[in-house]
Each structure stands twice: as C-alpha cells, then as structure tokens.
Chain A
C-alpha cells in the first residue's frame, strides 16, 4: 500500500488548503479515501457526529502534479485512512509560499501521512519542513461503512441564497436558539426560522430558484405533483448549519439544498474541481 503525491503550483496548493480548511471545520476526524483518480473526504453518520454526515469529492488531477497510489490489493485499488483534518490544515497553513509540497504515506512509528514542504530560503539550500500526521488505516472489511450516500427522496430542492448573507443571519440566530427551521418551496422561497419562549425570528429569502432534477428512469421527479407554494421544512441543529456556512472560504459555483420534510436536509456545494455534500438530520 503506497501513496505519493506532489503539488508544485501555488494556486493549486492554495485551493487544496482551502478545501482542507473547510473539511476541518466540519469534522474533527474523518476518512480520507484515495483512488487512482480521486480523493474523498468522508464523514459517516454515526451518533458521535451528531448524525451529520459529509461526502467531499475531488479529482486529484486538478491539484497534484504527481499522484501515485497503490491500494491494498489489485482488485481493491483504494486506500482508506482515518485522520484529523485539522492536522493537515495546520501543516499546509505555513506552506503558502512553498516551492513544492510532497505528501507520502509512511510508517514511521505508526502509519503517518508525511507532508514535506520545501520552502524558499536565502541560503543555498531550501528549508524543509516535514509534518508527520498520524493516520489510522481502515481495513477492507470496514469499507462498506463509508459508501457514497444516495441523494434522498426530497420534497423540495432549492438553490441557497448568498452563503455570506446566510451565514451572518444564522450566526445571529445562534445566539438566540439552538435549533433552526429551514423551510422552502418550489417557488424559490426559503425561510429560516427560530422560535424561543421570548422571541420568534424569521428571515425570508425570495427568488432563489429551484434546480431541475431529472429522475433516473426518465419520468418527471415526484416533486412535479407538489403544490408550488407548499413548504417542506426540517428543524436542525443550528451549530451544524453554522459549521457548514462558516467553513466556506470561497463562493461555490452552485449551492443548493434538498429538504425531506421533517427528516433531513441535504446540502450540495459545487466548486469547479470539488463537490461537497453535507447531510444534517432533522431533530424531532
């Protein structure tokens, strides 16, 4: 089982760092799945995570100049690692003007992801900083726990408002309540509501637009028959929502959410080279 990768382009490095920073805000520990073409950051919906789960997918070709991996076996050419993304984020933080960054899977005192940053210096040789991030190798028999979640059978799908705006609204609401209700309809309207004994606050967003979803079997999706004005809602933990919004450092190309009435909210954030899905279950 081997993994070696190298980034030399500063823009790619910056972009990759930003993605890792976002992941670090969403999960304390997560799974990194490496395949020949892609990297995945996965958080499964265990109770320890508060039921929230995450699936982030990026194409390695968009970031790495060199990328070689050999999985556990020929027919299972993948590697699953458990790591603390905050460590990776910290390792990359001071690499912003690096000449090159190499990442390797090594086994020093335990399996580690070794990040070697080559920094420019005034002397004849560059400075090398290495960070050994301890990782846990996930055995093959547990890989099934980390399959890609399917898009739920949602009631409403709607584009999100500007994330910055949404974040500042939710930030203020967090001071008043632990739970927030997201509701939306197929007419492009979304409301964020909180309600406590003393106060109820609602923020209304209009004209957001609803993304068109084609159903797999060619029929119209089941939202076709739905009343356009009727709201689907879910009451979720406000902190989880804020973690998602606060972690976004760059505006995504597309941001939308799918609401299954009183069950779950599924957020999809798409950038050019990376897609992030985050599921927050509704609290009864």
Chain B
C-alpha cells in the first residue's frame, strides 16, 4: 500500500490519530478500494472508532494489488508510535508539506515519511503486526433515535462536565428538550461512587470491594444540562428515550469534529444497545461506536415507576422542603446523618443479551464468545475472533461466572 497526503490534510490525519489514541492502544490500518481505514478499539471492547479516508483525500492512493485469492494487507501498530509522529499538530501545520505512508509487508515495516520545509525529510519506520479485520457490528439504520447537531453545540454542552467524569446520560425531557446528565452509581442507603477493579489476567474477578459507610460529602455533584430542540439540526427521538455512555471516548471524537467543523450525528436505540456517532464528509467517514448501559429495571418495573429511571424533568421549582429533614436531624442522635432519602431507584444494570449480527461483508470466523453475565459495558457488537472483552473500568457487579477463556 502506498499513499501520499498533502497540505492541510496532513493535519486532518494527525487529528484523526489523536482521536483514535483516546480509544485504544493499537491503531489498525486497513487499505481498501474505498479508501484507507484507521481503526481502534479499547481494551474492554466497549468502544470502537473508525476513520475512513476516501481516495480523494490523498494526493496519491494505491491500496496495493489484489489477486482473486489475496486480500489487501492489513496490520496494526502501537498507537504510541504512530501518535508520536503526529504529536504536535501546530508544527505539523507549519512545517509538513507532505506525508507518505508506505506499507512494506516483506520488510515488515510501515514507513511514514514527512516531507517538511527546508528540504527536511523525517522518516519513521514502524513495526507492525498482521491482524484480523477489526469490525464492530452495528447498523445505524436499526436505531430508533437520531440526533444531529453542529459539533460546537455538543462541545459547549460537554464542557460543563468534569474531565474525569466517566459516564453521561443523554435523553429527552419535557418540552422536547434534550438533556445531558452525569451518571452516578447509587445503591440504596449508600451513595458513593464505587469503581470496581478490572480483573487481572487469569485470576477470578475481584470480589465486590468492601463498602465503608461513606461520609455525607462523598456523594458526587450531579450536573445536568438541557438543550432546546432547535439547537440541533435534526432530532428524531422517541419520547422518554435515553442512553448512558462513556464521555472520555466521545470527547476525542468531539474535538476532531469541532476542528473540522462537521456536524455530528448520534444514532441510538434502547439502553444497552450501542450508540453510534458519525461524521460525514465527501472525503471522510467517521464512526464511533460506544457500548451503553442497559436498564435492568426497565423490564421488571411496572410502568408507573419506569419513568423514575429516566432523566428527571427539569424544573425551576426544586422542592424546598428541608423542614422535614431538619426535624429528623434534630431528633436523631449524634452525627450528621440524616434520614436516607434516595430518590434514585436501585439500578443494577445487567448487560443486554448479545445479538451479534453478521453483515455480509464481514469476514469473521469462529463462534461468538460466550457472554459472561453481570458485566457492565460489554462488547455487544464484536463477533470477531478477537479475545473476548474484559469488564470496562466502570463499576463491576459481583461476577458470578468469570471468563472461561481469558487471555493467555
């Protein structure tokens, strides 16, 4: 494979790599007739991103020869090495005129050559590994809801949430407003954020960490933002729909979208089914697929209580009734403990059933790995031969059955 990227597009490629670096540790390169695809997946298989650069994006694009029996060569490289080449975007813009990417399968090297100002040429030889095709299973057509907004609106919305925040819930509210709210794990009687530990290789999952009664103030701050429908370019959302996903990976895509000034489309369905973010351009197609939290209670709860698990309605009149709280406090013995009054329902998410769909152009082999129960963000959409996912960094419930085939 050989391709040349010229001028301003080098910076676009650099930004794409930065976005992908927020997802995973390895960058997958796949040249196709339709263009060069760069992909990444995170270690828990709960986030997948792909950037497809059409042939028009390049000054020169030769995906390589394909015979009737040979496939186009694809490989993966260490994200850190690739990112290092595009580390400083301002200097890319200032000094790099052209970027040449050359895949030499027989020499086992991926060559990246930056032609810079003043006749300076920087050549990077990266080691790569051959790999299977990395493809997430998703279909935007099957999503019930869709939102499209300029990236700027979403960036301005997301800025109110702290950088360390993991999950955020996006949903509809009254008046047709669309809201974002940080997702807080709450269990009845205790309100601390518990982050489970991902199990180490070969060991059974860590038992549920011991809970110490938390002081009042370990409860997290809850931030909520409401956007009017007319801030979006298009809205097609079922009323009462909502999904919860990881903000960290989304931010990476958002900064790319903002810089490219492209509108971002969000496709989603029920909680538990993946959310798909897309950016479309004449020369570029970007997909980010994130697993979402599923609602355990939404099936078993009666319809009247079902609404509680959705985003609470925005209201100007917060209940001001601290009187009863104060009475309870004054009469309680010692300490600052008030009566526990959680209004969030006990929500213990359970992953939705795995329904991998095979798409025609997929080339997966092998059976779909068994679905370990009780994992939060799970890979719902990988049917490839890659090793099955491990629980993500979010809270892990007590795992009743550990991975039968962990990575060796």
What is the chain B residue whose CB lies nearest that of A87? B221
| B330 close to chain A: CB less than 8 A | yes
| B203 close to chain A: CB less than 8 A | no
> What separation, in Å, do the CA atoms of A123 and B160 have in the docked complex?
19
- Report the minimum CB–CB distance from A23 to chain B (whole Å): 15
0/1 string, A93-129, CB within 8 A of B gives 1: 0100000000011111111101010000111110111
0/1 string, B312-336, CB within 8 A of A gives 1: 0010101111110110011000001
- Report the minimum CB–CB distance from B182 to chain A (whole Å): 10
Of the listed stretches B81-89, B95-103, B268-276, B338-346, name the one at the interface; the rest are far from the partner chain: B338-346
> In the complex the two chains form, is B228's CB within 8 Å of A123's CB?
yes
> In the complex the two chains form, is B314's CB within 8 Å of A138's CB?
no
| A188 close to chain B: CB less than 8 A | no
CB neighbours of A106 from chain B (8 A):
318-320, 322
| B226 close to chain A: CB less than 8 A | yes
| A136 close to chain B: CB less than 8 A | yes
CB neighbours of B139 from chain A (8 A):
none
> In the complex the two chains form, is B217's CB within 8 Å of A134's CB?
yes
> In the complex the two chains form, is B216's CB within 8 Å of A109's CB?
no
> In the complex the two chains form, is B225's CB within 8 Å of A111's CB?
no
> In the complex the two chains form, is B230's CB within 8 Å of A91's CB?
no
| A57 close to chain B: CB less than 8 A | no
Query: Given A1-B322, A2-B322, A131 and B221 touching (CB < 8 A)?
Result: yes
Interface residues of A in 13-62 (CB under 8 A from B): 29
| A132 close to chain B: CB less than 8 A | yes
CB neighbours of B320 from chain A (8 A):
2, 104-107
CB neighbours of B341 from chain A (8 A):
107, 109-110
0/1 string, B215-250, CB within 8 A of A gives 1: 011011111111110110000000000000000000
| B191 close to chain A: CB less than 8 A | yes
> What separation, in Å, do the CA atoms of A111 and B343 have in the docked complex?
12
The residue from A72, A123, A125, A128 contacting B326, defined by CB atoms under 8 A apart? A72
| A82 close to chain B: CB less than 8 A | yes
> In the complex the two chains form, is B191's CB within 8 Å of A127's CB?
no
> What separation, in Å, do the CA atoms of A105 and B322 have in the docked complex?
8
> In the complex the two chains form, is A83's CB within 8 Å of B217's CB?
yes
CB neighbours of A111 from chain B (8 A):
322, 325, 338
> In the complex the two chains form, is B231's CB within 8 Å of A134's CB?
no
What is the chain B residue whose CB lies nearest that of A134? B219
What is the chain B residue whose CB lies nearest that of A29? B217
Number of A residues with CB within 8 Å of any CB on chain B:
41
- Report the minimum CB–CB distance from B97 to chain A (whole Å): 38
CB neighbours of A134 from chain B (8 A):
216-217, 219-221
> What separation, in Å, do the CA atoms of A83 and B224 have in the docked complex?
19
> In the complex the two chains form, is A109's CB within 8 Å of B343's CB?
yes
Interface centre among A84, A116, A122, A129 (most CB of B within 10 A): A129
0/1 string, A72-100, CB within 8 A of B gives 1: 10000000001110010011001000000
- Report the minimum CB–CB distance from B176 to chain A (whole Å): 10
| B67 close to chain A: CB less than 8 A | no
> What separation, in Å, do the CA atoms of A122 and B326 have in the docked complex?
42
CB neighbours of A133 from chain B (8 A):
221
> What separation, in Å, do the CA atoms of A131 and B336 have in the docked complex?
23
| B107 close to chain A: CB less than 8 A | no
CB neighbours of B336 from chain A (8 A):
82, 136-139
| A206 close to chain B: CB less than 8 A | no
CB neighbours of A139 from chain B (8 A):
329-330, 336
What is the chain A residue whose CB lies nearest that of B312? A108
Query: 5 closest A-B pairs (Cβ-Cβ)?
Result: A106-B318, A134-B219, A123-B230, A132-B222, A136-B216
**B interface list, Cβ under 8 A from A:** 157, 159-160, 162, 186, 191, 216-217, 219-228, 230-231, 314, 316, 318-323, 325-326, 329-330, 336, 338, 341-344
17 contacts between A and B (CB under 8 A): A1-B323, A2-B322, A29-B217, A82-B216, A91-B223, A105-B322, A107-B321, A107-B341, A109-B191, A109-B341, A109-B344, A110-B219, A112-B222, A123-B227, A127-B157, A131-B160, A131-B221
Sample of 20 further A-B pairs with CB below 8 A, known A106-B320, A111-B322, A127-B157:
A84-B221, A87-B221, A90-B162, A106-B318, A108-B318, A109-B219, A111-B325, A124-B230, A125-B228, A128-B314, A129-B160, A130-B223, A130-B314, A131-B221, A131-B223, A132-B222, A134-B216, A134-B220, A134-B221, A137-B336
